[in-house]
A = this chain, B = another copy of it.
Amino acid sequence: MQTLHVELGDRRYPIFIGSDLNPRNLLEPYIHGQQVMIVSNTTVAPLYLTTYVAALEALGKKVATCILPDGEKYKNIEYLNLIFDALLEAGFNRDATVLALGGGVIGDMAGFASACFQRGVYFIQVPTTLLSQVDSSVGGKTGINHPLGKNMIGAFQQPQVVLADMAQLVTLPTRELSAGLAEVIKYALLGDVDFLDWLERHIDDLVGRDPERLAEAVYRSCAHKARIVASDEKEQGERALLNLGHTFGHAIESYMGYGVWLHGEAVAVGMVMAADLSQRLGWISMDDLERTKKIIQRAHLPVKCPAIPLDEFLGFMAHDKKVLNGQLRLVLMSTLGKAIITKDFDVELMKQAILANQEKA
């Protein structure tokens, strides 16, 4: 087992990364009260809920559960309210802990609920997908969707501790494993060309779910994100680099309807669009663009999205949080393995980069 500490001053917390982790021993020091609400979904709960309930009850905790339906389309205010209902029906107080057992949707909803319940209770994350292990377990971003935009309502809420157990990835659907790899690849593309080399050597092991290699990829991804988040907790500057591929990706997700395409799949195409625009701007070479597409394809991810009318695509991009004073900012690559955030690009080239990476209508 490896331990990564996310350095955030008095909100510092550890991420434990390994296989077949012992939740009882690992969680004990990080639960401050007697009440634990486990939030999970109908897919994950049958697999892992009893293990966690038993571990917490063995610690003498009062455990309650809130099992939500599985899917991004339930990441809204109505289902968030079910967590509040469960917390209040259980009679839980300010010293309660909300434990997220599931993927990114569960982590976002449980985390946001923990940030708002009684104006803030404790939060623990047990991410059960590769995507949530490398993405939502670091950074404290939580929230829900709104019909007019993704993640529009939320809070920054840091967990007490994160358990990332590679053994749980055995049950992960292949498509979701690949979606997680999209975020892993993102860390390489945005700031670590050595990690890109490593991925090019080991991508087949990762697709094959080798737990040692997965743990290494999760550790390196989280370490990368943790370093950026520690320097920019509230996303005023550098942290925005983590959104490489996301402005395009959010537009794809929004157009398709949440949950039709996986977040990682949309980000994969979004990264291709960002790389393509970077190439059109003369910042990276055609070889760099091809290398970007190749590693994404080897992770069994799409490199094109369906045909989407350009005006609708741009409309969804305009709702992105990276619009400041009405001006769109994009995360692009200044060189391969180095991202920058910029509003200094030709909009016509951006339109070309979007259209070039769509299927023909």
Residues of A within 8 A of B (CB): 33-34, 77, 81, 84-85, 88-89, 91, 93-95, 115-120, 141, 143, 146, 148-149, 151-156, 234, 318-319, 321, 323-326
- Give A151 to B324 CA distance when docked, in angstroms: 32
Residues of B within 8 A of A146 (CB): 84-85, 88
Interchain CB contact under 8 A, B153 and A117 = yes
Interchain CB contact under 8 A, B154 and A93 = no
Interchain CB contact under 8 A, A118 and B88 = no
The one of B81, B95, B120, B321 in contact with A118, judged by C-beta atoms closer than 8 angstroms, is B321
Q: Which residue of B lies closest to A149 (CB)?
A: B88
Interchain CB contact under 8 A, A119 and B94 = no
Interchain CB contact under 8 A, B155 and A119 = yes
A93, A119, A148: residue with the most chain B Cβ atoms closer than 10 Å: A119
Q: Tell me how far the C-beta of A8 lies from the nearest C-beta in chain B, rounded to whole angstroms.
A: 16
Residues of B within 8 A of A318 (CB): 91
Interchain CB contact under 8 A, A95 and B324 = yes
Interchain CB contact under 8 A, B324 and A119 = no
Residues of B within 8 A of A151 (CB): 119
Residues of B within 8 A of A85 (CB): 146, 148
A sample of 5 more A-B contacts (CB under 8 A), given A77-B77, A89-B148, A120-B234, is A84-B152, A116-B154, A116-B155, A117-B152, A155-B155
Interchain CB contact under 8 A, A116 and B153 = yes
Given A117-B153, A154-B116, A155-B120: A148 and B95 within 8 A (CB)? no
Residues of B within 8 A of A119 (CB): 141, 143, 151, 154-156
Interchain CB contact under 8 A, A81 and B77 = yes
Interchain CB contact under 8 A, A118 and B33 = no
Q: What are 26 inter-chain pairs, A to B, with CB distance below 8 A?
A: A33-B325, A34-B326, A77-B77, A77-B84, A85-B146, A88-B152, A88-B319, A89-B148, A91-B319, A93-B321, A93-B323, A93-B324, A93-B325, A93-B326, A94-B323, A116-B154, A117-B152, A117-B153, A118-B152, A118-B153, A118-B321, A119-B141, A119-B154, A119-B155, A120-B156, A120-B234
Residues of B within 8 A of A81 (CB): 77
- Give A324 to B32 CA distance when docked, in angstroms: 11
Residues of B within 8 A of A91 (CB): 318-319
Which 9 A-B residue pairings sit nearest by Cβ, starting from the closest?
A88-B148, A119-B154, A116-B153, A93-B323, A118-B321, A94-B321, A77-B81, A84-B153, A95-B324
Residues of B within 8 A of A34 (CB): 325-326
Residues of B within 8 A of A115 (CB): 155
Residues of B within 8 A of A319 (CB): 88, 91
Residues of B within 8 A of A141 (CB): 119
Interchain CB contact under 8 A, B152 and A325 = no
Q: Tell me how far the C-beta of A12 lies from the nearest C-beta in chain B, rounded to whole angstroms.
A: 17
Residues of B within 8 A of A149 (CB): 88
Q: Tell me how far the C-beta of A297 lies from the nearest C-beta in chain B, rounded to whole angstroms.
A: 33
- Give A115 to B319 CA distance when docked, in angstroms: 18
Q: Which residue of B lies closest to A144 (CB)?
A: B116
